Amino acid sequence: MARKLKNYIGGEWVDSSATEYTPVVNPATCEVMAEVPESTYADVDKAVKAAQVAFEEWRQTPILSRAQYMYRLKTLVEGRFEELSRIVVQENGKTMDEARGEVRRGIESIDFAASVPVLMRNDGLEDISSGIDETTLRQPVGVFAAITPFNFPNMVPMWFMPTAIACGNTYIIKPSPQTPISMEILFEILHELDLPEGVVNLVQGGKEASMAVMEHPGIAGVSFVGSTPVAKIVYETCTRNGKRVQAQGGAKNYVVVMPDANMEASVSNILGAAYGCAGQRCLAAAVVVGVGDAYDEIQRRLVERAGSLRVGYGLEETSQMGTVVSGAAKERIETMIQAGLDEGAKLSLDGRGLKINGFENGTFVGPTILSDVTPEMSVATQEIFGPVVSLMRADDFEEAVDIVNQSKFGNAASIFTSSGKAAREFKYQVKAGNIGVNIGVAAPSASFPFGGQKDSFFGDLHGQGPDAIEFFTDRKVIIERWL
Ligand code: NAD
């Protein structure tokens, strides 16, 4: 029987009060790796109480010492880098290279958090009135929590937790029940880091644990990353319960290729952006808009290159694309491909029904390209979250921008061009939070906020960068006169 995952609360591993457990399945081999508990309100409550007690001591820990914990955390994570990457592959299905990239990005967030002594510093004015000085102090707020998705099981929690605790808050992570083991290893590392008990807590589970996080009065703020329908629920529930919230939702990212683009370089870039992590990236290139003559060329080159990608088990270093996360995801993606065809799209490359030798039951979907897609088709408007590119035509730049801006999502958009003017207009006009210019995956580094607009983001302060410091602190204004 598979082992049952535990929660980590108050500095120790504890059994969940769950009565239900769900198998965690390696999507390539179908091996059951563990069973994840459906933790309850009682488990979240226990974690909140531990985090509340820890907060009083932790906020008084000198900020330089809190920063030192980040340096040690980085060293410990580096020490288990390959193991952390392997587990991402095994529970998520992506390739080893992609998993290493993910873990590396997580480490960059630890680097960012280590600079809190600079980032939390504030300002002041002498003699705002005669003999009166006014200053602001930045203070931690209390207990924060993250509810995170399956597609970056290591990196996404790292966007939030290191900065939150370095600012002096205490923390609870509720990972995706599809990929909970990455956080189990991270918490083994955090245990070794020897933070005061209760500073960091892990509650495994699904919807019930999420709801408890959103409703518990002891939690001051929630960072959510996941699909748009759930992001809306999280935003509404948290605001109703008086919490700070940042909810990063789903996406449908458009890539515009101008006729003056360097086609060879653009296609290489788009290939990675579309099929990296089997398209299960909130920054995946989902729709490619070929402007004028660019359409035919991009179609020809993409079909040729995508068709020769080596799909296989992520732990085999030769694999260039792994599985999608589950059988349910495979079924949803293949159904959406069929819906696109029924609505009139043409099939230029079909990844359905792919079988890989030795992994016959693995949930593989091969690279897929749908051509002649038009803006109203479901494959242009809905997030597929799989290795599927929808190709669309536009006569000119203005039409391409119109197409991009019709989308209800606004996570990312990219343009490939050699024209500075077109690039400038694209940056100016496009309604998306992360813009790429000759870059397929417009992923902000840890010191910049992770943008997102329209149905891709609900909240005010984004994840990462200076926004994160605002989110995890409160400013207090001090006005002083000494007689
Ligand atoms: P999901 O919305 O199904 O789940 C995300 C988290 O919410 C999980 O922890 C899950 O347990 C919890 N959850 C699910 N249903 C819930 C409900 N009804 N009530 C409360 N909690 C619930 O997302 P996913 O399938 O794990 O991840 C893929 C999605 O995440 C995609 O839509 C992708 O675009 C998005 N994503 C967005 C970003 C971003 O930065 N905008 C980054 C990564 C992924």
* pLDDT tens, residue by residue, 79-90: 999 999 999 999
pLDDT class for 1, splitting at 50, 70, 90? confident
Chain region(s) in the chain for CATH 3.40.309.10 = 253-437
User: What amino acid positions are annotated as catalytic residues?
Assistant: 282
**Where do you find CATH 3.40.605.10 in the chain?**
7-249+456-481
Rounded CA-CA distance 306/357 in Å is: 20
Distance 390 CA to ligand 1 centre (A): 23
Rounded mean pLDDT of 220-227?
Answer: 98
Express each pLDDT in 401-413 by its tens digit: 999 999 999 999 9
Report pLDDT for 14: 98
Mean pLDDT of 374-387: 97
**Can you say whether the dihedral through the CA atoms of 347, 352, 358, 359 is positive or negative?**
positive
Distance (Å) from CA 411 to ligand 1 centroid: 14
Residue 54 predicted with pLDDT over 90: yes
**Does residue 262 surpass a pLDDT of 90?**
yes
What is d(CA 436, CA 254) in angstroms, rounded to the nearest whole number? 10
Which atom of ligand 1 is nearest the CA belonging to 229? Answer: 2
Q: Which residue lies with its CA nearest to atom 22 of ligand 1?
A: 207
The domain made up of 7-249+456-481 has a fold known as Aldehyde Dehydrogenase; Chain A, domain 1 (3.40.605)
368 beta partners:
388
Residue nearest to atom 30 of ligand 1 (CA): 226
Distance (Å) from CA 298 to ligand 1 centroid: 32
CA distance 281 to 149: 11
Type of residue found at 96: M
Q: What is the mean pLDDT of residues 261-266?
A: 98
CATH of range 253-437; options 1.10.10.10, 3.40.190.10, 3.90.950.10, 3.40.309.10: 3.40.309.10
Which residues approach ligand 1 with their CB closer than 6 A? 147-152, 174, 176-177, 206-207, 210-211, 225-227, 230, 233, 248-251, 282, 383, 385, 411, 450, 452, 456
Q: Which of 92, 204, 227 to mutate to test the pocket of ligand 1 (most atoms within 8 A of CB)?
A: 227
Burial class (CB in 10 A: 0-12, 13-18, 19+), 263: middle
d(CA 347, CA 369): 6
Query: Is 412 in a helix, a strand, or coil?
Result: strand
* pLDDT above 90 for 332: yes
